[in-house]
Structure 1
Amino acid sequence: MLAPLASSLASFSSPVDISRDQAADEAARELSRAGYQHEPLFDRLRREFSQFIGDLMSGDGTGTGGVLSLVVIVVVLVVLAVLLLWALRRFSGSARTEPGAVFGRSERTAAEHRSEAERLAAAEDWAGAIRERLRAVARDLEERAVVAPLPGRTAMELAEAAGQALPSHAADLRAAARLFDDVTYGEADGTREGYLTLAALDERLRSARTGVTA
């Protein structure tokens, strides 16, 4: 396949002055012959890309052409980097938590969330204690099959699902969800009273049964 091109290039060995454009046209004619029609697509794309890069780099770096070539190369590299980062973020999306979700990335039991809540309350970190206590409520309801586990569930979605199963506690569950959202996403300060109210609800729900008023 290279024989026709080699023969053509050999004809230019004589000291004939030929312009770059004429040489490119001659090369294009050679490549369009039948011997190149069966060139694999990948090899063709690679060759054309290499030729494109070579044309860009052909400037001396000091003129307008050289500066433009450098700008184009930088833009291409930036675009490739952005696409790579986007792909990595998309593939790692399953490890992220949905905005507003009750649970973070860690998997804990209701007892572990409850113990952490009590530790935070002892340190007077009321916002953190409120968050962990509601997580204890959510995990306890899942462990007792009052609500089905649902990754990414928000506090209000939890309140709605649990309120349907435990209608006598529906209003308190919605109030607890609002409190959780306020201290977690609304930047509200947690209070001792708010935590004690949530802890009392947790204790009532632990003895509640589906469809039965506690």
Structure 2
Amino acid sequence: MSGAGGTAVARLLFRASGGIPVDTPRVPAREAARHELSKSMYHENDPNFFQRALDQLWKWVGDLLSSASGAAIGGPAGLVVLVLIVLALAAALWWRLGTPQRGPRPADALFESGPLDAAEHRTAAAAHASAGRWNQAVQERMRAIVRSLEERALLDPRPGRTADEAAAEAGRTLPAHATRLRAAARQFDDVTYGGRTADQQAYQAVLALDLELESTKPELAGALPGAAG
């Protein structure tokens, strides 16, 4: 026995004999050494449980790789070894990173905050426009358009709808405004996700569309020209 543990056991045996070396039977000596080496002072720098487990795992993976290198390429033994390696790596990643969490709702949804009515979105748009915050003004005005169409039952309320989807659906009900609706949705996407900057002219175009849509009636499918009311 060598090192700190061996020295400590030697001191223990020396003290037990009153300073006179003695011959201790093998079993009691082994028990005395085990008891001495179990003290925490000899294990302060030992790796923790997680590190020991990972070391064992990678040692096992290394052994599998060594086995795979000696197996015939394409043979059943090599295939089994490779499958075991993939499973071991997947288990290690799952253990280290945890169970994947469900992601948030789509990042390109039109509405980010809680439910606001069209009037509230218009108020927010006007406030941003007054302060020269044209990006936010365009965003809020586009939200006001879609919310207004929902309130008028021209669009079915649907959480997670994007600006492009809203424009496409509204364009089928209001075909005369389909092109401008798509342009407004594209402007919304540009400033929200494309990193572009809106200006007063862009906001005025979306504002004019909103004001015009307020007084626009939908075209009823199947309506006959000149049909009596």
TM-score range, shorter chain: 0.5 to 0.7
Superposition deviation, residue 187 in structure 1? 1.2
User: Paired residue for 1:181, among 174, 189, 192?
Assistant: 189
Residue identity matched to 2:98: L
Partner of 2:43: 60
> Radius of gyration: which is bigger?
2
Q: How far did 1:100 drift?
A: 1.1
**One of 122, 126, 139 as aligned partner of 1:131:** 139
Query: Any idea what the Cα deviations from partners look like across 1:136-175, whole Å, max 9, x if unmatched?
Result: 0010011111011111111110110000111111000000
Shift of 1:210: 1.7
Q: Segments of 4+ in structure 1 off by > 2 A?
A: 15-20, 59-62, 66-70, 72-76, 78-84
The alpha carbon displacement at 1:105 in A equals 2.5
The number of equivalent residue pairs is: 150
Partner of 2:156: 148
Q: 1:21-170, aligned counterparts within 5 Å?
A: 60-62=43-45, 66-67=46-47, 69=49, 71-72=51-52, 82-83=97-98, 86-87=100-101, 90=102, 96-170=104-178
Equivalent-residue separation in structure 1 for 2:105 and 2:144 (angstroms): 18
Give the Cα–Cα distance (whole angstroms) in 2 for the partners of residues 16 and 165 of structure 1: 96
Between the aligned partners of 1:70 and 1:97, the Cα distance in structure 2 is 35
**1:74: Cα distance to partner?**
8.3
Query: What is the percentage of aligned positions where both structures have the same residue?
Result: 39
Aligned partners of 1:97 and 1:105 also within 8 Å? no
Aligned equivalents of 2:199, 2:110: Cα separation in 1: 19
Q: Tell me the distance in 1 between the aligned counterparts of 2:52 and 2:200.
A: 60
Unpaired segments of 5 or more residues in structure 2?
Answer: 1-24, 32-39, 56-90, 221-229
Secondary structure of 1:196's aligned partner: helix
Closer/same/farther in 2, CA of residues 194 and 16 from structure 1, 3 Å limit: same
**Which letter does structure 2 place at the counterpart of 1:204?**
E
User: Amino acid of the residue matched to residue 60 of structure 1?
Assistant: H
Q: Alpha-carbon deviation of 1:16?
A: 9.5
Letter matched to residue 132 of structure 2: E
Q: Distance in 1 between matches of 2:213 and 2:141?
A: 12
Letter in 2 for 1:71: Q
- For residues 72 and 160 of structure 1, do their structure 2 counterparts lie closer, same or farther at Cα, with a shift above 3 Å needed? farther
Q: Which residue of 1 aligns with 2:224?
A: none
Higher relative contact order (CA 8 A, sep 6+): 1
| Gapped regions of structure 1 (runs ≥ 5) | 1-14, 21-56
The residue type paired with residue 67 of structure 1 is: P
Please state whether the residue corresponding to 1:67 is helix, strand or coil.
Answer: coil
SS of the counterpart of 1:99?
coil
1:97, 1:104 within 8 Å by CA — same for their partners in 2? no
Change (3 A) 1:202 1:72: farther
Q: Determine the structure 2 residue equivalent to 1:208.
A: 216
SS of 2:218 mapped into structure 1? coil
Q: Distance in 2 between matches of 1:111 and 1:206?
A: 12
User: Residue 66 of structure 2 aligns with which residue?
Assistant: none
Q: By how many angstroms is 1:211 displaced?
A: 1.3
